[in-house]
């Protein structure tokens, strides 16, 4: 630890004034960091450690303390449980349903919006406003739209000559319904990131291409898409991480049902922890989910650093 802390040697200060300035700096530094560090240690680091520790114990909500030592039993149980794997599969399913539309659609919308110079406020309102709404509002709206018989969705299906479906009540369609609501809700985030990326592309590139006779489509294909590659990678990774943490829409729209057809990792964890009162087992599942998220988050950091270096 000391080797890390000793690393920053300020080269700017002259030798004479360095020791004193550094000592006051040190005191002030810790005082400034202290309030945040207090909450950080108490509500982020401590629960993380507690989660890891309790995953090796038969901890329960009904009795205090950690309970008896369980070794890897909680992990073995999770790997052996069918609903653990199905919840992982549903999480993956949700990722597969939401990522391509969220990336492709938001790209298209952003490119179009970047070309159309009028009425920017209107597009921002239409695409970005849903993103700031609470998931509870989104869910109430979409459950209502999907209501069998009386909802807007079955009504539109009938209008175009389809037979109406009970989206959220059908095990094979429920996740699609959740995905549609999510795409509608969060596309504004990707839209905004793409718009920011588009701003960074020098206009001269397009002008040069246009002088060479490139059509708008060719400009998009050979300039816009490759230069937004970094944003696309970032958005895909962010979407995967967000999908791993999906809870709200599922809890509010289907409660994991019908059956367990939409149960995802976090609903499983909440059920095992709060309904079955089995903290240890829930912690083991949390740790497993946590590991997957960390792996992807690290990949994201590495990729960002690499593209920053090359930029």
Partner 1 sequence: MATPTTARNGVSAAAPAAVRPPAPGKDSTRTFTIVTTVVLVVFAVIWLIPSLYALKASLSSNATAALGAGEVIASTSPTLASYTTLLASGDIWNWYLSSFLTSAVTTVLTVLFASMAGYALSRLRFRGRNLVFLLMLLGIMVPPQVLVVPIFQMLDAASLLNTYWAVIFPQVPAVIAVFVFKQFFDGLPKELEEAARIDGAGYWRIYRQVVMPLSKPVIAAMAIVTFVGVWNNLILPLFVVSNPELMTIPVGLATVQGSFGQRYADIQASAILGALPLVVLFLIFQRRIIEGVAGTGLKG
Residue 216 found at the interface with partner 1 (CB under 8 A) = yes
Residues sharing a CB contact under 8 Å with residue 65, sequence separation 6 or more, in sequence order: 59
214: left (phi over 0), alpha (psi -120 to 50) or beta: beta
Nearest to 289 by CA among 239, 233, 241, 236: 241
Candidate residues 62, 68, 132, 163; the one interacting with partner 1 per rule CB under 8 A: 132
Residue 134 found at the interface with partner 1 (CB under 8 A) = yes
CA distance 225 to 311: 17
Candidate residues 196, 208, 225, 302; the one interacting with partner 1 per rule CB under 8 A: 196
Residue 184 found at the interface with partner 1 (CB under 8 A) = yes
Residue with tokens 């588009």: 198
Candidate residues 230, 251, 262, 264; the one interacting with partner 1 per rule CB under 8 A: 251
Per-residue contact flags (x/-) with partner 1 for residues 21 to 50, judged by CB under 8 A: -x-xxxxxxx-xx-xxx-xx-xxxxxxx-x
Candidate residues 76, 96, 104, 156; the one interacting with partner 1 per rule CB under 8 A: 156
Residue 228 found at the interface with partner 1 (CB under 8 A) = no
Tokens of residue 19, six digits: 């020791």
CA distance 258 to 292: 26
Restricted to residues 89-128, the positions that interact with partner 1 (CB under 8 A) are: 109, 112-118, 120-124, 126-128
Tokens of residue 20, six digits: 């004193």
Distance in Å, CB of 49 to partner 1, minimum = 9
Distance in Å, CB of 309 to partner 1, minimum = 17
Distance in Å, CB of 61 to partner 1, minimum = 8
Q: Tell me whether residue 82 or residue 212 sits nearer to partner 1 (CB atom).
A: 212
User: What DSSP state is assigned to residue 117?
Assistant: -
Residue 234 found at the interface with partner 1 (CB under 8 A) = yes
Distance in Å, CB of 76 to partner 1, minimum = 19
3-state secondary structure of 9: coil
Distance in Å, CB of 259 to partner 1, minimum = 19
Residue 167 found at the interface with partner 1 (CB under 8 A) = no
Restricted to residues 252-281, the positions that interact with partner 1 (CB under 8 A) are: 252, 266, 269-270, 273-274, 279
Distance in Å, CB of 112 to partner 1, minimum = 4
Residue 308 found at the interface with partner 1 (CB under 8 A) = no
Nearest to 269 by CA among 74, 53, 26: 74
- Assess contact for 123 and 113: CB atoms under 8 A: yes
What value does the CA radius of gyration of the chain take, rounded to a whole number of Å?
25
Distance in Å, CB of 206 to partner 1, minimum = 8
Residues sharing a CB contact under 8 Å with residue 106, sequence separation 6 or more, in sequence order: 187, 190, 191, 193, 194, 235
CA distance 62 to 57: 14
Residue with tokens 């050979």: 222
Residue 137 found at the interface with partner 1 (CB under 8 A) = yes
């Amino acid at each position: 630890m000391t080797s890390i802390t000793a690393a920053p040697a300020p080269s700017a200060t002259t030798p004479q004034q360095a020791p004193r300035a550094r000592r006051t700096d040190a005191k002030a530094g810790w005082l400034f960091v202290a309030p945040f560090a207090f909450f950080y240690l108490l509500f982020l680091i401590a629960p993380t450690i507690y989660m890891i520790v309790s995953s090796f114990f038969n901890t329960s909500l009904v009795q205090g303390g950690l309970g008896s030592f369980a070794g890897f039993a909680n992990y073995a149980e999770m790997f052996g449980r069918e609903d653990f794997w199905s919840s992982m599969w549903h999480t993956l399913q949700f990722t597969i349903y939401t990522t391509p539309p969220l990336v492709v659609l938001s790209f298209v919308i952003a490119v179009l919006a970047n070309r159309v110079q009028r009425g920017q406020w209107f597009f921002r309102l239409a695409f970005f406003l849903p993103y700031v709404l609470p998931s509870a509002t989104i869910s109430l709206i979409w459950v209502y739209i999907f209501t069998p018989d009386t909802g807007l969705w079955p009504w539109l299906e009938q209008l175009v000559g389809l037979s109406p479906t009970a989206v959220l009540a059908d095990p094979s369609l429920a996740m699609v319904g959740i995905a549609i609501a999510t795409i509608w809700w969060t596309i504004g985030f990707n839209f905004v990131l793409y718009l920011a990326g588009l701003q960074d592309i020098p206009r001269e590139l397009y002008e040069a291409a246009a002088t060479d006779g490139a059509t708008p489509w060719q400009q998009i294909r050979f300039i816009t898409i490759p230069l937004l590659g970094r944003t696309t990678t970032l958005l895909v990774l962010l979407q995967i991480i967000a999908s791993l943490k999906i809870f709200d829409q599922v809890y509010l729209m289907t409660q994991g049902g019908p059956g367990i057809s939409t149960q995802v990792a976090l609903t499983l964890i909440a059920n095992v922890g709060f309904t079955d009162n089995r903290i240890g087992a829930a912690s083991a599942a949390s740790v497993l989910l946590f590991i997957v998220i960390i792996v992807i988050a690290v990949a994201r950091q590495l990729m960002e650093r690499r593209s920053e270096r090359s930029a």
